Structure 1
């Protein structure tokens, strides 16, 4: 009996430790957490129940569509991260969606790293203040910065955007906490959920999302904030070392629907050390290998 009680206690401690986990900080900002321990992004969902409408929601995203890593070694794909500091100049930004943007001065360096393509995200992590500044559709026009929208997040806080507000992402979420980063894969663990896109979404959102960008109220379509995980029965044999780390994260922490885009595109930061041949193996999986998580009991701890 004592050994049973001990086993239960050990299991409870392990569960508590998992719930209190925090994602690894960026190498360039080692003193800054990527959100507090127990934040919803950093909470395992492998033990949560399957959503009762999982089959229909997965089918609407794309049952036969392949998982796709939207990041690479050459920097052509992915959302780059720029680490800045208190000495970085703060610049005014004019916003298209000013009513839902944080209208402060943004620490944009002389040559910021801008995502290629139409979204043109700029992610700036202030290593001194542990604040995350994110811009969508950022451009410098005649010496002045403009953007579609912008948001600031205190990485030591669980605070969400106001209800109904966008961010630099359609779901009103921070982007950086949902990126696959090479430094995490190199240490063998991604300990947070990842960000992904779907081609059509519902005109609604679920926690922790704060904003929707849907095309229809059809309940078969996924809402922003939907959390999906890799099925426990999917074998990981035959995948390369980088892919296996990503897949273990998708099984344990899942991924959060954050924007409209190609189905099952998983976001990451570009890095010359990514092995594209390894990452392309992720395309062996399709929507049929995933299930929607029932997150109604999940909140920031």
Structure 2
């Protein structure tokens, strides 16, 4: 697969062929179109609080910015590797075991980064994603992280209510990343992870956790779905940017963490065309609206959507 790096330092035979491993089930909230759902009654307040004039920003691309790679790297593993030992700053809300992290797994913004330092491993045999926040390798197949989670990518089960993950909203990161292979195909069929400067001390389905700056109903809650308005013209965009913009119209973006306004997340990949992606910065907050997804979920503890 061209979109991510395959790394493994463990000399075992490759796993037997397994069913294809997608990043989310077909009935997951990640894959649910929201282009026909109603506008949220508080949409104008949410957009204003995020920044009506702030530009959309693809937080991924090729090459380096300030000497660091751009985006969240996805380490793809197709071989069985030993389970890693991981300790946490927040063990009470982190999965304690089950992480099989290949030797050489990449860290967001590089190994010397002082940022979020996410590690995302797409283990395609058992179809799981191992995700760490503020990850530090300690040698000998041992890691330390702020928090972490193991996601079964074939399941719609959400994390326990109130638990974080490697993301403030308690959601998986991998399914919400824009990947180069899907953008190159011309179709991104899922919602995209987005950050906001300040969030409310609340969360809405499918989020399971909040990291709010204040109890302020004008601020977006974790889990809020935002979409690019249908009236926005995307026809003149080049292919990579158009695929992203069309996904934002159809599937929207999910508020998953605090950060810069309208920063959407994608994988680090040398094949991105930064000139194409730069055109996305021509959109701004006022081109978006919040979506009322109150009738989308099947049950509070499942990420599956109700039949429509």
**TM-score, normalisation: structure 2:** 0.87
Which residue does 2:125 correspond to in 1? Answer: 128
1:64-88, Cα deviation, whole Å (9 max, x unpaired): 0000000011261101111124521
Alpha-carbon distance between aligned partners in 1 of 2:98 and 2:252, rounded to the nearest angstrom: 34
1:36-81, Cα deviation, whole Å (9 max, x unpaired): 1111010000000000110011000000000000001126110111
Shift of 1:182: 0.5
8 Å Cα contact 1:84-1:107 kept in structure 2? no
Alpha-carbon distance between aligned partners in 1 of 2:139 and 2:287, rounded to the nearest angstrom: 48
Where do 5+ consecutive residues of structure 1 fail to align? 1-24
Which residue does 1:137 correspond to in 2? Answer: 134
8 Å Cα contact 1:161-1:172 kept in structure 2? yes
CA RMSD of aligned residues (A): 1.7
Decide which of 178, 185, 198 is 1:200's aligned counterpart: 198
Decide which of 26, 50, 64 is 1:61's aligned counterpart: 50
Alpha-carbon distance between aligned partners in 1 of 2:5 and 2:251, rounded to the nearest angstrom: 22
Q: How does 1:47-196 map to 2 (within 5 A)?
A: 47-74=36-63, 76-116=69-109, 117=113, 118-141=115-138, 143=140, 144-196=142-194
Alpha-carbon distance between aligned partners in 1 of 2:148 and 2:233, rounded to the nearest angstrom: 40
Shift of 1:238: 2.7
8 Å Cα contact 1:243-1:278 kept in structure 2? yes
More helix by share: 1
Shift of 1:272: 1.3
CA distance 1:41–1:27, shift in 2 (3 Å)? farther
8 Å Cα contact 1:93-1:105 kept in structure 2? no
8 Å Cα contact 2:31-2:251 kept in structure 1? yes
Alpha-carbon distance between aligned partners in 2 of 1:273 and 1:262, rounded to the nearest angstrom: 24
1:179-207, Cα deviation, whole Å (9 max, x unpaired): 00010011110000000000100000000
- Number of residue pairs the alignment of both structures matches: 277
Shift of 1:27: 11
**TM-score, normalisation: structure 1:** 0.88
